[in-house]
Structure 1
Amino acid sequence: MELGLKDKKVLITGGSKGIGAAVAEVLTEEGAKVGVIARGQEALDQIKDKLGVAVYQADLSRHSERERVFNQFMEDNQGIDILVNNVGGSNGGQALETDMDTFNEAMELNYFASVHFSKMAAMAMKEQQSGSIINITSVYGRESGGKITYNNAKSALISFTKGFADEVIKYGIRVNSVAPGSILHPTGNWQRRLEENPEQMKKFVSDNIPAGRFGRADEVANVVAFLASEKASWVVGASINVDGGQSYMNF
């Protein structure tokens, strides 16, 4: 399907590995002009060599770094059409065993970074009366499971998605989120767990994923590409599960 993304200016946070890298690849194939932000320079160099995308090194847990790198992208591209907020990470353990600094760190990276980039991008998109923002969340932001710090932050991001979508759609800006289930990719936690205990992971898949396998990063990326395009022009404030049936929710 021709998605009409040729020459669109795209910024992807946390885009050097995993789902973010898959999004960068799919959007590059669609002809978009993609910029990727990540903390690790080596992974950035690798994706630049592979895809020819622009790369930006920054620690997105820091407010000043987010502003610096966004301004650099805007200077390089003279605008932004699509923002994909993918940056995130899991930390902590059970709530009683996790200190408040760890909760704050989880919110800063998984929630506030995406809110901050969304606000900056929307101000630019407002001027052109068009744009698309996609937040990568998680099925565990919609129901219990996994680490509580991560789940809290992703739940907040899903809520922000709907609230912000309603606020900015009048400017032609669509905001949506994609909630992946268990996605297998070389740098992810599921790959590590599979290598450590393949039998346990086989049972996990059998017990929890009706489709009978882990998801792939490109399967998430394809949904992101659709949401970024005008083919999704009437999708506003949605949270779309991409999980092979893993979620227990009815919607």
Structure 2
Amino acid sequence: MDLGLTGKKVLVTGGSKGIGEGIAKAFLAEGAIVGIAARGGEALEEAKANYPSIYTYQCDVTSESERTALVSTFLEEHGGIDILINNAGGSNGSTVMKTEMEDFERAMELNYYSAVHLSKLAATEMKKQQQGVIINITSIFGRESGGKVTYNNAKAALISFTKSFADEVINDGIRVNSVAPGSILHPTGNWQRRLNENPDQIKQFVKDEIPAGRFGTVEEVANVVTFLASDKASWVVGASWNVDGGQSKMNM
């Protein structure tokens, strides 16, 4: 299927590894102009070596000034932005009582505030064009209980933001949606580390918790993201799509 993404200007945060790298690779395969942002210079250099046509931007998305500079630089280099993928994120802390307030604040800054701010910056330009797509990478644990509480809370907030912002900007030609992955296995992720440390326990987890009987792949997430970013999904607005092999317990 030709998704019509050739020449589209795409920015992916957290794009140097894992799900973000998979998303960037998928857009490149569709002929898009792709920029990735990440904190680690070494990982960005490796991504550039693997994908010579990709544009790289070193940026700590928890910094407001660096977020502003990121979008400004992307616009200067490419003359606009068609698609923003807010993928940067991570978890920290433990139970509520064992987690310091600073950890809650850091989780919100990384997973939520960064996406809100970048969405506003990108939408300002997209409104001028009267077209654009913003996709927030959340989690099934933003839709239901599970995972570390800081991560759960931040992703839930991002799913809520997605719907609110989608309704606000659709009349400007901007579609906003979110993709909620379940447990995805990739070399740099927590599931791979846990599998290496305790293979029997993780294999039992997969058997008990994932009806499909295996972990998901970054490619399976990326395929959904590229479809949602295309005009093939033109009537999908404010939605949260699970990509989880049936792992979520929700019936909606």
With the length of structure 2 as denominator, give the TM-score of the two structures: 0.99
Counterpart of 2:12? Answer: 12
Counterpart of 1:90? Answer: 91
1:7-40 CA distance string (max 9 Å, x none): 0000000100000000000000000000000000
SS in 1 for 2:228: helix
> What one-letter code is carried by the residue in structure 1 that aligns with 2:194?
R
> What one-letter code is carried by the residue in structure 2 that aligns with 1:122?
A
Q: Percent identity?
A: 67
Distance 2:42 2:232 in 1: 35
> What one-letter code is carried by the residue in structure 2 that aligns with 1:150?
Y
SS in 2 for 1:64: helix
1:159-205 CA distance string (max 9 Å, x none): 00000000000000000000000000000000000000000000000
SS in 2 for 1:96: coil
Distance 1:17 1:59 in 2: 15
Distance 1:227 1:45 in 2: 28
SS in 1 for 2:97: helix
> What one-letter code is carried by the residue in structure 2 that aligns with 1:128?
Q
Distance 2:175 2:93 in 1: 33
Counterpart of 1:22? Answer: 22
Counterpart of 1:120? Answer: 121
Distance 1:59 1:135 in 2: 17
Distance 1:140 1:160 in 2: 15
SS in 2 for 1:66: helix
Distance 1:69 1:178 in 2: 23
Counterpart of 1:233? Answer: 234
Offset of 1:49 from its aligned partner? Answer: 1.2
Counterpart of 2:130? Answer: 129
> What one-letter code is carried by the residue in structure 1 that aligns with 2:8?
K
> What one-letter code is carried by the residue in structure 1 that aligns with 2:144?
E
Counterpart of 1:62? Answer: 63
Following superposition, which runs of at least 4 residues in structure 1 exceed 4 angstroms of deviation?
Answer: none
Offset of 1:70 from its aligned partner? Answer: 1.2
Offset of 1:134 from its aligned partner? Answer: 0.3
Is residue 38 of structure 2 the alignment partner of residue 46 of structure 1?
A: no
SS in 1 for 2:23: helix
With the length of structure 1 as denominator, give the TM-score of the two structures: 0.99
1:195-217 CA distance string (max 9 Å, x none): 00000000000000000000000
Distance 2:147 2:89 in 1: 14
Counterpart of 2:187? Answer: 186
> What one-letter code is carried by the residue in structure 1 that aligns with 2:19?
I
Distance 1:207 1:63 in 2: 41
Counterpart of 1:246? Answer: 247
Is residue 15 of structure 2 the alignment partner of residue 2 of structure 1?
A: no
> What one-letter code is carried by the residue in structure 2 that aligns with 1:112?
Y
SS in 1 for 2:242: strand
Counterpart of 2:102? Answer: 101
Distance 1:26 1:46 in 2: 17
> What one-letter code is carried by the residue in structure 2 that aligns with 1:222?
N
Structural RMSD (CA) = 0.5
1:207-226 map, 5 Å: 207-226=208-227
Counterpart of 2:140? Answer: 139
> What one-letter code is carried by the residue in structure 1 that aligns with 2:211?
P
SS in 1 for 2:212: coil
Ranges in structure 1 where 5+ consecutive residues have no aligned partner: none
Counterpart of 1:79? Answer: 80
